[in-house]
Amino acid sequence: MFNETVLEHFRNPHNVGDIPDATAVVEVVNPVCGDVLQLSVRLEAGRVVEARFKTQGCVAAIASSSVLTDLLAGKLPSEFLSITPQQISEALGTLPPSTLHAAQLCGDALSALFFKLV
């Protein structure tokens, strides 16, 4: 069902964990499937210098969260909303339609993070 890119991000996710001196931390939940994503970022000079996540969820949710932290590197908060669920899906080689909710969960986290920082 999943391609090698998704499986690689699931098996060896990037940037897992907490940031002790985080600038902001948000947590979002998908009420339908129960996936939970906690996203932490640390900003310096207004840009993301570190992003980490903790996700409880399916393979696609963990892989999407991993990609999300990669995509956040160096971004200004004003650029967060330019990262779309579709972009996350495409970075994973396109998620199957039944698992696109995982990329949407990341989009929800980005929105929450943006509004927390502005």
Split the chain (118 residues) into runs of 10 and give each run's mean pLDDT: 96 98 97 94 98 98 98 97 97 96 97 95
CA torsion angle 38 58 91 70 (round to 10):
30
Give pLDDT, residue 20. Answer: 95
Identify the DSSP state of 98.
Answer: G
Give pLDDT, residue 118. Answer: 86
Angle at 19 between CA 59 and CA 39, to 5 degrees: 40
Give pLDDT, residue 1. Answer: 83
Compute the distance between CA of residue 103 and CA of residue 60 in angstroms, rounded to an integer: 8
Give pLDDT, residue 32. Answer: 86
Give pLDDT, residue 3. Answer: 97
Instruction: Please report, for the chain, the start and end positions of each structural domain, with discontinuous segments joined by +.
Output: 4-117
CATH of domain 4-117: 3.90.1010.10
